[in-house]
Structure 1
Amino acid sequence: MSDIEKANSAHQNYAKFSAPPPTPIANPGALGLFSFASTTFILSLYNVNARGIAIPNVVVGMACFCGGLAQLLAGMWEFPRGNVFGATAFTSYGAFWMSYATILIPNSGILAAYTGHEDELSQALGIYLITWFMFTFLLMLGALRRNISFVALLFFLCITFVLLAVGAWNTSVNATNAGGGFGILTAMIAYYCGLSELLVKGESWFGLPLGTIKQERVD
């Protein structure tokens, strides 16, 4: 057997043992995306002062159980499916929503700790938001060869986090409103991606394209 044949045989054996095992777990992508979209949509409407709402605490329930718990579970189910990207994204944003809800829950004592130090609270929230921008940007780099829809989703989410951080740092209503506007756009893209995951070929009348990115062969 030649060296090339030995190398090919070794590669096939490695692929056989390194491939994720078959799993009966259904695709949790739609659950994760819809949960993210719905929670983002509600908070973003509050950020643009829709219907005169300025206090966002009604989103706490959604952030705990829909954007938080449901999305966290979706991330956990992505792990046995072998989808590291989906597992990382859903689990992390589920944790984001639960951590954000904790800030707004009165009994957590987080907001109460800044009583009389509102400017310090704004600076702290800005750091919190810009950290999630950094994470989202890194996640977007990991999505660049996946599809156009996911890249667009993460790109507009990056803009949303930056604007909200600027709004917090500068106590700028305009920046916060702009962040809310981009958040609504982000939620709409997430709904689209979630529906695309839900419309399974052979079980739906139509499908939604995510925008294929040509894969160049890398040796």
Structure 2
Amino acid sequence: MSTEPVAVMPPTANDAEKAQFASNGADHVHRHHHHDYSQMTSGFAQADAGTLNPGVWKPYEHRKLANPAPLGLCAFALTTFVLSAINMHARGVSAPNVVVPLAFGYGGFVQLLAGMWEMACGNTFGATALSSYGGFWISYAILLTPNWGITAPTGPYSGNTGSPIGFFLTGWFIFTTMLLLCTLRSTVAFFLLFLTLDLAFLFLATEQYALDMGNKTAALGLQKTGGFFGFLAAFLAWYNALAGIQDSSNSFFQVPVFHFPWSDKGRERRGIKTDREQA
């Protein structure tokens, strides 16, 4: 082997430019990272609506994954928007058939994938919420698919599907209430998303019971009210998704999510030690 000394050349302007580009690239990747790992060193992540994180889960390890929450929230938002417009009888449209492909493909399959990716990121709340609502849309699409015959006059309920579908929606109301309780220490935007969704399920469930009792006037009013709250939930889901997508590399501003005063982030901003810091 040669023993001649290796000549060390001073850095050129081109080398400096490459180094700066590499540094910017690293910063860009870090800004797009799923979670703030400086917060992870304390064992718990801060509440963040953009990552569908209420601030109560404990992360596991560093993973180079993008934030899947905005994808799941957008899938949920678009499908909910279309169904809610139909429930409100916008422009005289009342048949929900157009929701079926959306519910299978975007609101169902894509949202379910986002939930599985949240599980890989260690976010239990996000995985539970997105996977479950993905399952909701798939099951709802099956209900509306004529070939399954579930709601058909010749089906198992002979067309009297008011109470069965009411039970279906009541179960989702209970589940959403459970998730709503987990957002009380997060952000206002996050809390309002689940509150409006919870009310949408409640009114749509009672609409089905009203239909079963033959009160079509009350059922129509309940359906439109449920559609209104679903409409709000859709826009709040998009809002929270935007909060998760925006950063300094793609936006000149960040939409506010408004942390509750009693949340860890709210107390931190007021200079009050959090419960974990006091412990």
TM over 0.5: yes
Does 1:118 find its partner at 2:165?
no
- Give matches, 1:16-27, under 5 Å: 19-27=59-67
Determine the C-alpha separation between the residues in 1 that align with 2:120 and 2:255: 26
Q: For residue 275 of structure 2, give the secondary structure of its aligned residue in structure 1.
A: coil
8 Å Cα contact 2:107-2:134 kept in structure 1: yes
Determine the C-alpha separation between the residues in 1 that align with 2:130 and 2:247: 20
Does 1:140 find its partner at 2:198?
no
8 Å Cα contact 2:143-2:151 kept in structure 1: yes
- Give matches, 1:174-213, under 5 Å: 174-213=221-260
Determine the C-alpha separation between the residues in 1 that align with 2:169 and 2:189: 23
How far the C-alpha of 1:201 sits from its partner, in A, is: 3.7
| Residue in structure 1 matched with residue 133 of structure 2 by the alignment | 93
**Structure 1 residues 38 and 217, CA, compared in 2 at 3 Å: closer, same or farther?**
same
| Residue in structure 2 matched with residue 46 of structure 1 by the alignment | 86
Determine the C-alpha separation between the residues in 2 that align with 1:39 and 1:66: 7
| Residue in structure 1 matched with residue 142 of structure 2 by the alignment | 102
How far the C-alpha of 1:116 sits from its partner, in A, is: 7.3
Q: For residue 166 of structure 2, give the secondary structure of its aligned residue in structure 1.
A: helix
Count of matched residue pairs: 203
What stretches of structure 2 of length at least 5 have no aligned partner? 1-42, 44-57, 212-218, 265-273
**Structure 1 residues 211 and 180, CA, compared in 2 at 3 Å: closer, same or farther?**
same
| Residue in structure 2 matched with residue 167 of structure 1 by the alignment | 207
**Structure 1 residues 209 and 116, CA, compared in 2 at 3 Å: closer, same or farther?**
closer
Determine the C-alpha separation between the residues in 1 that align with 2:256 and 2:94: 37
Determine the C-alpha separation between the residues in 1 that align with 2:70 and 2:79: 14
**Deviations along 1:23-56, whole A, 9 cap, x unmatched?**
1110011101111010000000000111211110
Which of the pair has more CA radius of gyration? Answer: 2
How far the C-alpha of 1:144 sits from its partner, in A, is: 1.4
8 Å Cα contact 2:60-2:122 kept in structure 1: yes
Provide runs of 4+ in structure 1 moved above 4 Å.
none
| Residue in structure 1 matched with residue 96 of structure 2 by the alignment | 56
Give the superposed CA RMSD: 1.8
How far the C-alpha of 1:200 sits from its partner, in A, is: 2.2
Q: Which amino acid aligns with 1:195?
A: L
- Picking from 171, 178, 191, the partner of 1:151 is 191
8 Å Cα contact 2:151-2:157 kept in structure 1: no
TM normalised by structure 1 equals 0.87
Aligned-residue identity in percent: 41
| Residue in structure 2 matched with residue 5 of structure 1 by the alignment | none
**Structure 1 residues 116 and 131, CA, compared in 2 at 3 Å: closer, same or farther?**
closer
Does 1:217 find its partner at 2:258?
no
Comparing both chains, which one has the higher relative contact order based on Cα–Cα distances under 8 Å and sequence gaps of 6 or more?
1
Determine the C-alpha separation between the residues in 2 that align with 1:169 and 1:137: 20
